[in-house]
Amino acid sequence: MNNMTPKAPLDTAAGTHDSGEIRLVGVTKKFGNAYAVESIDLTIPHGSYCCLLGPSGCGKTTILRMIAGHETPTSGEIYIGEDMVVGKPPVERGTAMMFQSYALFPHLSILDNVAFYLKMRSVGKDERRGKALEMLERVQLDHLKDRMPAQLSGGQQQRVALARSLITNPKVLLLDEPLSALDEFLRLKMRGELKSLQDELGITFVHVTHTQPEAIALADMVVVMDTGRIDQADTANTIFNRPKTPYVARFMGGQNVLTGTVEANSGGAGKLKSAAGSTFEVKLDDEAAAVGSQLSIAVRRDQVAIRRGGANTSVGVNSVAGIVEATEYQGSYVKVTLKAEGDEFVANVSDRAYFAEPVETGDAVVATWNAEDVHVLSKVDTGGASASYLEGGH
Amino acid sequence: MSSASPSYGSRPWTFYVLALLFTLFVIFLYGPMLAVLILSFQGPSASLVFPLRDPSLMWFDELFNPRRTGDVVGAFNRSLPLAIVVMVLTVLISVTAGFAFRRRFKGATLIFYTAIASLIVPGLVLSIGTIVTFRYLGLSASWNTSGLGAHLSWALPFGLLIMFAVLGRLNPSYEEAAYDLGASKWQTIKEVVVPIVFPGMIAVALFGFTLSYDEFPRSWLTVGSKNTLPLEIWTMTTNVTSPALYALGTVTTVISFLVIAIALSSILFIQRKRSRGK
Amino acid sequence: MLPTYLQVAPLTVVLTFFFIIPVGLVVLVSFFRYQMLVGIVPDFTVKNYVDLLTNPTTWSLYQSTLKFTLIVLAITFVLGFWIAYFLVFHVRNLLIAIGLFLVCTVPFWTSNIIRMISWRPVLGKEGLINSALLNTGFIDKPLEWLLYSDFSVVVAYVHLFTLFMIVPIFNSMARIDKSLLEAAVDAGATRWGVIWNVVLPLSKTGIALGALFVVTLVMGDFFVVTVMSGGLSGSATSGIFNDLQFLNYPRAAANAVILLIIVLLIAASIFRLVDVRKELVR
């Protein structure tokens, strides 16, 4: 929180009329014949930090721009607070957008950049410059007020863009991949600052990103998207531990997805048999699948143990056998990638465990886990690991 | 950056050859102008030769004497205002048209190629066509009507091309940010777009002015009975062999240089202000 | 959409009135008759075209023009290419490259006529070059062929129009990704190989545009060739010019149409090679 001066939050009331709750109802956006976004229903609570997460082309930026008013939905409604805002210009919605390239006006000093909104409202020069200066003080850039954007570093430009957006007193702040242009170190630092800022201001933040660790670090609510639809919208914890679909499980990283046929199901204790013949024990709840149906399960990578084993060693329940394809040292753990069940299977083995009994590429190993650590997915996996093309970055 | 040079810092021999070529080319470009400059200061012995004998300013004086050297002042008094009008119109028309072309609209390609065609068609053909047009309309050709139009047919395509280049590079995020902050369409143009593309507009103005001020083929016939400066010079080259011609050349070149210097330094000034601050 | 059409209206109006209609009228008038002492008589006749195409003078004038065009094209291409190459690939500092580029451009913004006639005291019998050569003893008689000859015409054309080659080629070359050159060198190409295989193909558009400009400028010119050849050489346009002097607008128009067709044919074949709109609008 180094760059923010603690001050009273902006005047945004959490009452119903000034609520920053966002509701999308049946929102669809088509470009020509292609659907960018199809029939989206989403409610973002007032004052929450919401991350829209997904790969390029999934529609997350389109949704952001529709909330902002820079795109109009083909059909559907968008509510911000009590107001239906489709058709209203951005400035009347109570939203402010931070652009990926910051879009600071190159011909104006940063003071005039921040004061721009007030100038558009015909506020007098001295008054608006005074207010802009206050805003710059909050982001600790007041000493550079007469500089031009081209003279500032990337991190500084971003803070100016923030100040420029916040001076509009928004109920909702929309951020389009704000951290993508920064290097690793700066990215982590700014991440913390964004979180603190949102805490302090108490307004709704909607943040678009394609980086999974960023989303779960920042968000109260993560919305995972895939080609125009929302796969799952939940807290970060729920998404990580109880993904609904194979896509979410893989995309959030750290999850292996296995599929099997239900062999037995008595009182919630289910048994699945995979195509390769492995047996998985799994806890099925009341919506237990019938015997003979297909089910997919997810197992976290860090909850898998690896031991040497070949064709001779018996493979017990909750295990798969495979050949090591790669090992990657990651400091506190080693990422061991196997080919098992005809697909990719990853175990993040703690470094202590790994170096006690290292395995190399080509070794035959067995991966095991506990039945309690298995999570049942709502959708059966069809694509395999190759279907998810974005690594979580673990 | 240089291709296939094995060591840092040192230059391949091709660099020196090309640098020599470049230097020779620059001498080739500026040499004759320099010669004219020197010759305009020669004395009354008035031979178009080197070296100079008794330098004097007499030939500059002669320019203002219409009997000996043609109607230079009169021609100048037509060329200059015409160039200024062409400059202003070129900026206004090219800029607005440039903005129009940012969207797709029916007929855009047709208009674009027509503009390009206007550049390609030989000036003489256009001159003939223009005066025939005016004759059929019962109007008489004059520098401020048909001449103006003929000059515009040459300057506008250039202006359009420059605006294309400039607006093409304009990041649309600036306008979106302005809209986000409450600016209307008009405010966005006035407060954001125009200031950002202003250097490009200066370039358009420069082209508009110089292309008109120096225009010859399209001025032919279309300016009517009173000549513009280039036409007057043409008359002088065929009739007059006095060094007053060189004095005129120097004067007109100096004016051109002034205009160029003002335009380029304005652009430079704006760029520096934006990258280095006040 | 209305504001857009309004925005592009002034341009369209000017182009229509001062380009399309004039060219259209030229075509129209080329089919009219010319009667001595009466003037232009509206008619439909191809007599003008027949006259021109059967007249050997017309052919020799066009031949002369085409000859100049090709020579000038070749020279300006060589000069333009190497100078652009020097500026883009040999000059390391971008600011200096732009500065030098501007140095080449500045003369363009001064009067063409003045630049042309400035060659007279340089190339003349008692001019700069001859004086220098005589004084240093290289020759004992002044060189007559420097001025008022084909040589001086070509010199003037090159002087005026090389810039039109430099600018588009410079533009194309500046867009070439430098790492392509490095990749070629890595693959074992010699300096010349890199130019032939990488630079030249990627500058194709610029070269085509430059060629287009040079061709149309040379073919449409009449004052350079008249002044610099001392009236000895003619060009396609001098034929037009002569007819205009005698107020024979129809035949002048027909000649102009022939010239226009030739120029358009050349332009069309160049457009075939290159997508001009993409290049110019990018």
What integer pLDDT is reported at residue A311 of this predicted model?
Answer: 62
Tokens of C92: 């390391």
CA distance A90 to A52: 20
Rounded to a whole number of angstroms, the distance from the CA of B251 to the nearest CA of chain C is: 10
Instruction: Give the residue from A375, A53, A84, A94 showing the smallest Cα distance to A221.
Output: A53
For residues C59 and C255, is the Cβ–Cβ distance under 8 A? Answer: no
Distance separating alpha carbons of residues C43 and C33, to the nearest angstrom: 6
Handedness of CA A240, A244, A247, A249 (dihedral sign): positive
Question: Do the chains C and A touch each other, judged by at least 3 C-beta pairs below 8 angstroms?
Answer: no
Q: Which residue of C has its CA nearest to B160?
A: C11
Instruction: Look at the block and give the residue holding tokens 């017309």.
Output: C58
Answer whether A107 sits within 8 Å of B196, measured CB to CB: yes
Q: How many CB atoms neighbour CB A36 within 10 A?
A: 22
Q: In the block, which residue shows the tokens 């004059």?
A: B142
What phi, psi does B224 have (nearest 5°)?
Answer: 85, -155
**Residue B275: its chain C contacts at CB < 8 A?**
none
Task: Determine phi and psi for A349, rounding to 5 degrees.
Answer: -90, 130
Element (H, E) at C163: helix C150-174
Structure tokens at B254: 């100096």
Q: How far is CA A248 from CA A261, A388, C90, in A?
A: 21, 9, 53
d(CA B259, CA A242): 72
Phi, psi of A206 (to 5 degrees): -120, 120
Beta-sheet strands, E only, within chain A: 22-31, 34-44, 49-53, 75-80, 83-84, 95-98, 172-176, 204-209, 221-226, 229-234, 255-266, 269-273, 279-283, 294-300, 305-308, 319-329, 333-340, 343-350, 364-368, 374-376
Could B129 and C22 be called an inter-chain contact, meaning their C-beta atoms sit closer than 8 Å? yes
Task: Determine whether the interchain pair B120/C216 forms a contact, defined as Cβ–Cβ distance below 8 Å.
Answer: yes
Could you tell me the CA-to-CA distances from A87 to A75, A106, C153 in Å, in that order?
12, 30, 66
* Partner residues linked to A257 by β-bridges: A298
Check CB contact under 8 Å for B33 and C79: no
Is it the case that residue A2 has pLDDT exceeding 50? Answer: no
Contact check, Cβ <8 Å, C256/B128: yes
Give me the pLDDT at residue A340, please.
Answer: 86
Residues with Cβ within 8 Å of residue C15, at least 6 apart in sequence: B111, B114, B115, B118, B153, B156
Q: What are phi and psi of A364, to 5 degrees?
A: -90, 125
* Contact in structure between A11 and A44 (CB atoms under 8 Å): no
**What's chain B's length in residues?**
278
What does residue C254 show for φ and ψ, rounded to 5 degrees?
-60, -45
The residues, ordered by sequence, that sit 6+ positions from C213 with a Cβ below 8 Å of its Cβ are C161, C164, C165, C168
**Contact between C12 and B111 (Cβ < 8 Å):** yes
Query: Cβ–Cβ of A101/B183 closer than 8 Å?
Result: no
Interaxial angle between packed helices B72-100 and C2-15, expressed in degrees from 0 to 180 and rounded to the nearest 10: 150
Pairwise CA distance, residues B209 & B155, whole Å? 9
Burial of C249-258, coded b for 16+ CB within 10 Å and e otherwise, reads bbbbbbbbbb
Q: How far does the CA of residue A123 sit from the closest CA of chain B (Å)?
A: 13
Over range B54-78, report the average pLDDT: 71
Q: How far is B164 from A82, CA to CA, in rounded Å?
A: 44
CB contact under 8 A, A68 and B277: no
Tokens 């394809």 label which residue?
A325
Is there a contact between B275 and A168 if contact means CB atoms under 8 Å apart? no
Chains in contact with chain A (at least 3 beta-carbon pairs closer than 8 A):
B
Q: How crowded is residue A391: how many other Cβ atoms within 10 Å of its Cβ?
A: 11
Inter-CA distances, A140 with A135, A136, A160, B181, B201, Å: 9, 6, 10, 22, 37
Q: What digits encode the pLDDT tens for the residues A209-241?
A: 998 889 999 999 999 998 999 999 999 999 988
- C19/C96 Cα distance (integer angstroms): 40
Write the DSSP symbol of residue A19: -
Q: How far is CA B204 from CA A157, A239, B260, C75, in A?
A: 32, 57, 12, 30
Tell me the sheet residues that pair with A306.
A367
State the count of interchain CB pairs (< 8 A) between B and C: 269
Point out which residues pair with A323 in neighbouring strands: A339, A364
Question: Does B276 sit within 8 Å of A119, measured CB to CB?
Answer: no
Top pLDDT among A287 and C84 is at C84
Q: Which residue has the higher pLDDT, B201 or B13?
A: B201
Identify the pLDDT of residue B168.
84
Mark yes or no for CB contact B274/A150 under 8 Å: yes
Which of B177, B198, B274 lies closest to A103 in CB terms? B177
Strand, coil or helix: C33 = strand
Average pLDDT, integer, range A89-98: 92
C92 touches chain B (CB under 8 A): yes
The position carrying tokens 């120097």 is B250
- Number of other CB atoms surrounding residue B169 within 10 Å: 11
Please report which helix (H) or strand (E) contains residue C34, including its range.
strand C33-35
Q: What is the pLDDT of residue C119?
A: 87
**Candidates B179, B181, B201, partner chain A, best to mutate (most A CBs within 10 A):** B181
Q: Count residue pairs from A and B with Cβ separation < 8 A.
A: 74
Torsion C201-C205-C210-C215 (CA) sign? positive
- Distance between CA atoms of C34 and C42, rounded to whole angstroms? 9
| Pairwise CA distance, residues A190 & B250, whole Å | 62
- Write the CB contacts of B46 (distance below 8 Å, at least 6 apart in sequence): B242, B243
State whether residue B274 sits within 8 Å of chain A by CB.
Answer: yes
Nearest to A12 by CA among A189, A184, A180, A204: A204
Distance from the Cα of B194 to chain A's closest Cα (Å) equals: 10
Which chain B residues contact residue C249 at CB under 8 A? 128, 132
Residues in B closer than 8 angstroms to A146, CB to CB, are 277-278
Q: Of B233, B227, B261, whose CA–CA distance to B249 is shortest?
A: B233
Is the pair B, C in contact (3+ CB pairs within 8 Å)? yes
In the predicted structure, residue B44 carries a pLDDT above the cut 80: no
Q: Which pTM value belongs to this model?
A: 0.81
Q: Cβ of B73 under 8 Å from any chain A Cβ?
A: no
Q: Is the dihedral of CA B253, B258, B264, B265 positive or negative?
A: positive
**Across the strands, what pairs with A22?**
A44, A80
What is the rounded distance in angstroms from the CA atom of residue C44 to the CA atom of residue C38? 17
Per-residue pLDDT of A57-73, as tens digits, reads: 899 999 999 999 999 99
Per-residue model confidence as pLDDT tens for chain C (282 residues) = 567 888 888 999 999 989 999 999 888 888 887 776 666 677 788 888 888 888 888 888 888 888 899 999 999 999 999 999 999 888 888 888 888 998 988 888 888 888 888 888 888 777 778 877 887 877 777 777 888 888 889 999 999 999 999 998 998 898 888 888 889 888 888 888 888 888 988 888 889 889 989 998 998 888 888 888 877 777 888 888 888 888 788 888 888 888 889 888 888 888 777 665 565 554
Cβ under 8 Å to B: A residues 111-130: 116-117, 119-121
Q: How does pLDDT run across A100-158, given as a tens digit for each residue?
A: 999 999 999 999 999 999 999 999 999 999 999 999 998 999 999 999 999 999 889 99
Contact B218, B151 (CB under 8 A): yes
CB contact under 8 A, B180 and A146: no
| Residues of chain C numbered 116-175 and touching chain B (CB < 8 Å) | 117-122, 124, 126-128, 131, 159, 162
Touching chains B and A? (3+ Cβ pairs < 8 A): yes
C-beta atoms of B191 and A148 within 8 A: no
- Which residue of C lies nearest to B26 if distances are taken between CA atoms? C104
Give the pLDDT confidence of B195-247 residue by residue, as tens digits.
Answer: 999 999 999 999 999 889 888 888 877 887 788 888 888 777 776 666 777 88
